[in-house]
Structure 1
């Protein structure tokens, strides 16, 4: 039996769609919350068992893993050590963990916890003499529809503002990945254990793109005339620190601003080599999201 966490989330629903498209025939247990919209699960015609619970509850995790052979853990990297610990106890054969390329950031907050988590996972598998095998998938900046927390914000900014500041001329590289590509990659990894067990993969977008060029593609897609001006990163960090001081730490964008000047481009060559991962171009992917946005705004 396959256990899935995060199936009703942003990338989870695209993974679910791949299971549907490929007529996945095995039994599936999905961990969901009482507040989750499970209508897509209910209409899927897959062999799904829904269980309601909280991944903060270790007893619930242990019980949910009884009778499970494979785990696809999409929801929240911070639960990975507990998932792996109880997977080992329950003799689960395989665990696929969805983590993040944020682990490569040079800034402490963005990477330190992710490194600790992956170290804990590695230690659990090495110290237990377990037969449980791990695969780690690291998506880059995720976008794809208006539920994402990245490009959807940029689309709204470009639509509402005519003058937009960009850090250091927007020269930093990003490599956003469309959630549709992640859904396909998750499914392909699931059905390709021989090629992917014991490995880690970056799941990034097609090619790196400068931040300023991403903004320009969005403005072109919205047919909006926008003017960009460069904000030195030092000045941006200064303003972020002022805001943090005045809000007594409640609003802390310091590191987010710092990362705006950091290249976030990651090769996915190994994923292409092992399981044929070939993501959409950013131009194609962002056009889908812009279309969804304009249709929604037009209906209001």
Structure 2
């Protein structure tokens, strides 16, 4: 039996669609919340068992591992240690964990927690008594639908504002990955244990792209004449500190601004070579999302 967390979330829904498209015929146990929209699960025609529970509850995690052969943990890196420990106790063969390329950031709040989790997992993997295979997938900035927390904000910004400030001229590199490509990658990794077991993969977009070029593509798709003004990183950080001070810490964008000046592009060659990962172009992906935005606006 396959255990899945986060299947009703953004990337989880695309993983579910891959299970449906490929007529996955094994039993699937899905952990959901009481507030989750499970209509896609109910209409999937797959052999799905829904279990309502809290991943913060170790007893619950241990209980749902009974009879499980493989785990696809999509929901929240901060539960990974408990998921893996419960899997080992229940002699689960393999666990696939969805983490983040945020682990590479030079800024403390963005990466320290992720590094600590993966360091602990490395110790677990190296334990001679550990018979559970652990595979880690690290998506970069995820986009693809209006529910994402990244490009959807950029699209709304460009649609509303004539003039947009960009840190350091927007010359920092990012490599956004479309949720559709992640759904396919998750499924392929699940079905390719010989090639992927025990490995760690960065899952990024087709190629790096400058932030300013992201904004320009969005502006073009929206048919806008947007003016972009370069703001020095130091000024952006100072303004974020002022905002944090006057709001008594309630609004803290300091590190978010700092990361706008940080290159966030990473190679996915290992994934391409091991299991044929080939993501779509950003131009294609952002066109889909902008069209969703325009359709909603109409």
TM interval, shorter chain, is over 0.9
Q: Secondary structure at the match of 2:164?
A: strand
Q: Secondary structure at the match of 1:207?
A: coil
* Counterpart mapping for 1:131-170 below 5 A: 131-170=131-170
Distance 2:147 2:208 in 1: 23
| 1:192 match | 192
| 2:263 match | 263
* Counterpart mapping for 1:1-300 below 5 A: 1-127=1-127, 129-298=129-298
Q: Secondary structure at the match of 1:31?
A: strand
Report the count of equivalent residues: 298
Distance 1:143 1:186 in 2: 16
What's the TM-score, normalizing by structure 1? 0.99
Q: For structure 1, which runs of at least 5 residues remain unmatched after alignment?
A: none
Q: Secondary structure at the match of 2:51?
A: strand
After superposition, the C-alpha distances for 1:96-115 in whole angstroms (9 at most, x for unaligned) are 00000000001111110000
Distance 1:80 1:161 in 2: 40
Distance 2:192 2:89 in 1: 24
What's the Cα RMSD here? 0.6
Distance 1:283 1:209 in 2: 10
Q: Secondary structure at the match of 1:155?
A: helix
Give runs of ≥4 in structure 1 deviating > 6 Å.
Answer: none
After superposition, the C-alpha distances for 1:21-42 in whole angstroms (9 at most, x for unaligned) are 0000000000000000000000
Per-residue deviation, 1:128: 6.0
Distance 1:247 1:81 in 2: 35
Q: For structure 2, which runs of at least 5 residues remain unmatched after alignment?
A: none
Distance 1:67 1:125 in 2: 21
What's the TM-score, normalizing by structure 2? 0.99
Q: Secondary structure at the match of 1:11?
A: helix
